[in-house]
Structure 1
């Protein structure tokens, strides 16, 4: 009897695909089908999600938790490790926080804590419903002592991937990363109105090895803010605007801050932002260091201050402007930054008189300003940058005013 090897081969492939699918299905925990979650905006997702997480975390084999399509109400969830095996959370649906900020006893909504080999993905959204919070009566933009929750906290994760997730309308920061090692955020979307205060898109602090790739951020504060202790960051392909730009800092506000080092921001586009790429440290206050920071291949479109070192950072006059910053900045470059500015101060390097900036490079800066308030300016203080390539406007050609305009 002749054997048709093509048929046998095809059947073998189909069988293998079936077994792979069955294996994947066996390792998936559906919060609706297995744990009773309901996409009705009345049933709290908290218990089904926590029950699914508990089972997945205890499993000795890799497990995927699935939140199917639909809109869910989630009061709060802390998803904590360590877990026995890699774990994934596939969010396909739209998860909403309670609109009333009074319902939160802690400044967090969804938290992932002490997890290794973790992936959050799926195309779904975390909606903080923050409009009611930052427009409430009596709220001030500098009211940082409030108990407003952060949409997503990622604390002490190792080898993690956040991919194809939307984070919107947070009541405070959208995503806060602390103490992580080797974490990647790719194709993340952050969206909130431009008048939403203290709603940083992604805030980073005290971690080592972060990649932010092809991410789109629209917010009312810094698109990305980088705090003390941040090391080995690679930010590329980010679009930012509206917002306050991509910022290192603010630094020097608190005692015992850890050094910032090894930051690269490249191939990013900023549109209609109040700042472009900047480093900000508090006037006076506490010592610190930031070094090996590089911004390159940046496009700015109608940005108020595209290139900025601000060592007189003092929002709402909450510091002593007559004192110098005690944060030492060194090994910094701004390369191939081009586009248009909304204000004349195209380049502003205001360094500390106590610790002047060292080894700063300006290379191929070409930013035009066509407004009514005079020609474009490049201002420098307490710094002697290395200048190469085209400089439009001419580098450091304008003195810094005695009382520079505060930035936010």
Structure 2
């Protein structure tokens, strides 16, 4: 073998190794998740997040097809070494059947102080109807939880996500910079209370495009401190349309 051939083979080897290292996948099934719609998978998802955060190379957290039950899940990026984590969801993430399990917390799935997180595909099912019925009856009920929240975060991307029947707001983006939401589908009955589709607060550089939002409250709600918000090709209804502060 010539010196050129040796160098070429060596280059291919190291190139292949670097490609594999740069695309590490963390399958939630490997961390104990079960896609049977019965078992609590919260710890497995948080463990996969911890593993992806520990890597300094771009990583993918993969959620295969199936139904995964999650309680309140907390994804903290304050000690994360990784600024390029993709969460590829091919299945459905479901709240527990007992609305009290998440209803006494503000958020169901919470990302805080993360940078460079992308969510691709998947369905979130907040199982809100039982809580709404409780509220309609006049009984003492939990306030309910937002399905997905990004707080104090930067460089976010959500593409192709579906959210149904959130207990309260479906998606919250608060105190964030540079967030791109596209091809989002949100569904809840027109009588569902406080189920805003996407709520933006104290954030800048947020883009919402090519989405369909049908819910019982605001399609998109914008609170004070928000700037450089871009909304295009978003179909609303049922719902109250787009609200800026208290203005419809």
Query: 2:88 matched to 1:81?
Result: no
Q: Secondary structure at the match of 1:237?
A: strand
Alpha-carbon distance in structure 2 between the residues aligned to 1:245 and 1:47: 37
Aligned to 2:194: 198
Task: Verify: 1:179 aligned to 2:175, yes or no.
Answer: yes
- How far does residue 101 in structure 1 lie from its aligned partner after superposition? 2.0
- Deviation digits for residues 245-279 of structure 1 (CA, Å, limit 9, x no counterpart): 111112xxxxxxxxxxxxxxxxxxxxxxxxxxxx2
Q: Which runs of 5+ in 2 are unaligned?
A: 1-8
Q: What is the aligned partner in structure 2 of residue 316 from structure 1? A: none
Matches within 5 A, 1:247-266: 247-250=243-246
- Aligned partner of 1:116 in structure 2 is 115
**1-side partners of 2:43 and 2:77: how far apart?**
17
Deviation at 1:67, TM superposition (A): 0.6
- 8 Å CA contact retained: 1:99, 1:133: no
**CA distance in structure 2 between the aligned counterparts of 1:245 and 1:228, rounded to whole angstroms:** 18
Q: CA RMSD in A?
A: 2.3
Distance 1:62 1:201 in 2: 30
Q: Structure 1 unaligned segments of length 5 or more: list them.
A: 1-11, 251-278, 281-408
Deviation at 1:22, TM superposition (A): 6.6
Q: Shift of residue 24 of structure 1?
A: 7.1
- 8 Å contact kept, 1:128–1:168: yes
Are the aligned partners of 1:99 and 1:128 in contact in 2 as well (CA < 8 Å)? no
Question: How far apart are the structure 1 equivalents of 2:149 and 2:97?
Answer: 18
**TM-score (norm: length of structure 1):** 0.54
Give 1:64's match in structure 2, choosing from 44, 60, 64.
Answer: 60
Partner of 1:243: 239
> Are the structure 2 counterparts of residues 139 and 178 from structure 1 closer, same or farther at C-alpha, using a change threshold of 3 Å?
farther
The offset of 1:173, in angstroms, is: 0.5
Q: Is the 8 A contact 1:99 1:130 kept in 2?
A: no
Which residue of 1 is the match for residue 158 of structure 2?
A: 162
Q: Give yes or no for the alignment of 1:31 onto 2:28.
A: yes
The equivalent of 2:6 in structure 1 is: none
Residues 1:49 and 2:48 aligned together: no
Tell me, what secondary structure is at the counterpart of 1:238? strand
Aligned-pair distance for 1:25?
Answer: 8.7
Partner residue of 1:91 out of 66, 89, 92: 89
Aligned length, in residue pairs = 233
Distance 1:156 1:20 in 2: 35
What TM-score, normalized by structure 2, do the two folds share? Answer: 0.87
Partner of 1:272: none
Match of 1:223 in 2: 219
Cα deviations by residue, 1:62-115 (Å, 9 ceiling, x for unpaired): 111001111111112011103212211111101110132222231210011100
Please name the residue that 2:126 is paired with.
128
**Deviation, structure 1 residue 200:** 0.3
Greater share of strand: 1
> What are the Cα deviations for residues 290-331 of structure 1, in whole angstroms up to 9, with x where unaligned?
xxxxxxxxxxxxxxxxxxxxxxxxxxxxxxxxxxxxxxxxxx
C-alpha distance in 1, partners of 2:212/2:124?
Answer: 15
Q: Secondary structure at the match of 2:167?
A: coil
Structure with more contact order per residue of length (Cα contacts < 8 Å, sep ≥ 6)? 2
Secondary structure in 2 aligned to 1:135? helix
